[in-house]
Protein backbone atom coordinates (compact mmCIF):
# COMPACT_ATOMS: atom_id res chain seq x y z
CA UNK A 1 0.00 0.00 0.00
CA UNK A 2 1.26 3.41 -0.87
CA UNK A 3 0.48 6.80 0.69
CA UNK A 4 -0.44 9.44 -1.72
CA UNK A 5 0.89 12.96 -1.02
CA UNK A 6 -2.58 14.37 -0.46
CA UNK A 7 -3.19 11.76 2.28
CA UNK A 8 -0.07 12.65 4.26
CA UNK A 9 -0.38 14.96 7.31
CA UNK A 10 1.86 16.10 10.13
CA UNK A 11 1.24 14.80 13.62
CA UNK A 12 2.38 16.97 16.57
CA UNK A 13 3.36 15.08 19.66
CA UNK A 14 3.47 17.42 22.59
CA UNK A 15 5.67 16.93 25.60
CA UNK A 16 3.99 16.35 28.94
CA UNK A 17 3.45 19.51 30.98
CA UNK A 18 5.61 19.84 34.04
CA UNK A 19 3.81 19.72 37.38
CA UNK A 20 2.51 23.00 38.85
CA UNK A 21 4.77 24.52 41.48
CA UNK A 22 3.50 24.80 45.03
CA UNK A 23 1.89 28.16 45.90
CA UNK A 24 4.29 30.57 47.61
CA UNK A 25 3.21 32.96 50.34
CA UNK A 26 5.03 36.24 49.88
CA UNK A 27 6.63 37.69 52.96
CA UNK A 28 7.84 41.29 53.24
CA UNK A 29 11.55 41.82 53.65
CA UNK A 30 10.95 44.40 56.41
CA UNK A 31 8.13 44.92 58.88
CA UNK A 32 5.27 47.33 58.30
CA UNK A 33 6.49 49.61 61.10
CA UNK A 34 10.01 49.76 59.65
CA UNK A 35 8.60 50.57 56.21
CA UNK A 36 6.47 53.37 57.70
CA UNK A 37 9.53 54.78 59.47
CA UNK A 38 11.49 54.79 56.20
CA UNK A 39 8.62 56.56 54.41
CA UNK A 40 8.43 59.17 57.18
CA UNK A 41 12.17 59.76 57.01
CA UNK A 42 12.05 60.15 53.21
CA UNK A 43 9.16 62.60 53.50
CA UNK A 44 10.95 64.61 56.17
CA UNK A 45 14.09 64.82 54.04
CA UNK A 46 12.13 65.84 50.93
CA UNK A 47 9.70 68.33 52.50
CA UNK A 48 11.53 69.45 55.61
CA UNK A 49 8.99 68.27 58.19
CA UNK A 50 11.49 67.82 60.97
CA UNK A 51 9.92 69.47 63.99
CA UNK A 52 6.45 69.27 65.48
CA UNK A 53 5.82 72.94 64.71
CA UNK A 54 6.12 72.21 60.99
CA UNK A 55 3.79 69.23 61.15
CA UNK A 56 0.26 69.54 59.86
CA UNK A 57 -1.41 69.59 63.28
CA UNK A 58 0.48 72.63 64.58
CA UNK A 59 0.41 74.39 61.22
CA UNK A 60 -3.37 73.90 60.94
CA UNK A 61 -3.85 75.18 64.48
CA UNK A 62 -1.91 78.35 63.63
CA UNK A 63 -3.87 78.87 60.41
CA UNK A 64 -7.12 78.27 62.28
CA UNK A 65 -6.24 80.91 64.90
CA UNK A 66 -5.29 83.39 62.18
CA UNK A 67 -8.56 82.72 60.32
CA UNK A 68 -10.58 83.20 63.52
CA UNK A 69 -8.80 86.51 64.19
CA UNK A 70 -9.53 87.72 60.63
CA UNK A 71 -13.16 86.59 60.97
CA UNK A 72 -13.53 88.45 64.29
CA UNK A 73 -12.15 91.63 62.71
CA UNK A 74 -14.56 91.22 59.78
CA UNK A 75 -17.49 90.74 62.17
CA UNK A 76 -16.61 94.06 63.84
CA UNK A 77 -16.51 95.76 60.42
CA UNK A 78 -19.90 94.22 59.54
CA UNK A 79 -21.36 95.44 62.83
CA UNK A 80 -20.09 98.97 62.11
CA UNK A 81 -21.64 98.81 58.64
CA UNK A 82 -24.99 97.55 59.98
CA UNK A 83 -25.20 100.41 62.50
CA UNK A 84 -26.24 102.64 59.58
CA UNK A 85 -29.13 100.28 58.73
CA UNK A 86 -29.99 96.86 57.28
CA UNK A 87 -28.03 95.69 54.26
CA UNK A 88 -27.92 92.70 51.92
CA UNK A 89 -24.88 90.48 51.67
CA UNK A 90 -24.08 91.89 48.22
CA UNK A 91 -24.15 95.45 49.55
CA UNK A 92 -21.89 94.49 52.45
CA UNK A 93 -19.53 92.64 50.13
CA UNK A 94 -19.24 95.71 47.89
CA UNK A 95 -18.73 98.07 50.85
CA UNK A 96 -16.20 95.87 52.66
CA UNK A 97 -14.33 94.49 49.66
CA UNK A 98 -14.33 90.94 50.99
CA UNK A 99 -15.04 87.71 49.13
CA UNK A 100 -18.41 86.04 49.34
CA UNK A 101 -16.98 83.06 51.25
CA UNK A 102 -15.28 85.24 53.88
CA UNK A 103 -18.41 87.37 54.36
CA UNK A 104 -20.68 84.32 54.51
CA UNK A 105 -18.47 82.72 57.19
CA UNK A 106 -18.42 85.95 59.20
CA UNK A 107 -22.21 86.41 58.93
CA UNK A 108 -22.83 82.81 59.98
CA UNK A 109 -20.50 83.17 62.95
CA UNK A 110 -22.05 86.48 64.02
CA UNK A 111 -25.56 85.00 63.73
CA UNK A 112 -24.50 82.01 65.83
CA UNK A 113 -23.20 84.43 68.47
CA UNK A 114 -26.55 86.26 68.38
CA UNK A 115 -25.04 89.58 67.26
CA UNK A 116 -26.94 89.89 63.98
CA UNK A 117 -29.98 88.40 62.32
CA UNK A 118 -31.63 88.57 58.92
CA UNK A 119 -35.13 89.02 57.59
CA UNK A 120 -36.38 87.78 54.23
CA UNK A 121 -36.70 90.46 51.60
CA UNK A 122 -38.08 89.20 48.29
CA UNK A 123 -35.76 86.45 47.14
CA UNK A 124 -32.90 87.71 49.28
CA UNK A 125 -32.28 88.65 52.88
CA UNK A 126 -31.43 91.87 54.69
CA UNK A 127 -29.08 91.60 57.60
CA UNK A 128 -29.54 93.78 60.68
CA UNK A 129 -28.16 94.06 64.19
CA UNK A 130 -29.99 91.78 66.57
CA UNK A 131 -31.58 93.99 69.22
CA UNK A 132 -31.58 91.14 71.76
CA UNK A 133 -27.90 90.25 71.15
CA UNK A 134 -26.68 93.85 71.13
CA UNK A 135 -27.81 94.50 74.68
Q: Assign residue 112 the CATH number of its domain.
A: 1.10.10.10
Predicted local confidence at residue 95, as pLDDT: 93
HEC secondary structure over the chain: CCCCHHHCCCCCCCCCCCCCCCCCCCCCCCCHHHHHHHHHHHHHHHHCCCCHHHCHHHHHHHHHHHHHHHHHHHHHHHHHHHCCCCECHHHHHHHHCCCHHHHHHHHHHHHHCCCEEEEEECCEEEEEECHHHHC
Mean pLDDT score of the chain, rounded to an integer?
Answer: 83
Residue 55, domain member (yes or no) = no
Residue 35, domain member (yes or no) = no
- How many folded domains does the chain comprise? 1
pLDDT bucket at 135, cuts 50 / 70 / 90:
very low
Residue 116, domain member (yes or no) = yes
Residue 2, domain member (yes or no) = no
Q: Write out pLDDT tens, residues 63-91.
A: 888 889 999 999 999 999 999 999 999 99
Could you tell me the pTM of the whole model? Answer: 0.55
Residue 91, domain member (yes or no) = yes
Q: Which domain range does residue 89 map to?
A: 60-134
Amino acid sequence: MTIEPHHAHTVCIRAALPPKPEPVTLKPKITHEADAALIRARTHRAWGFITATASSIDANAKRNQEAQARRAALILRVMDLLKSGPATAAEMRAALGETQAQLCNALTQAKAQGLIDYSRWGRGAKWHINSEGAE
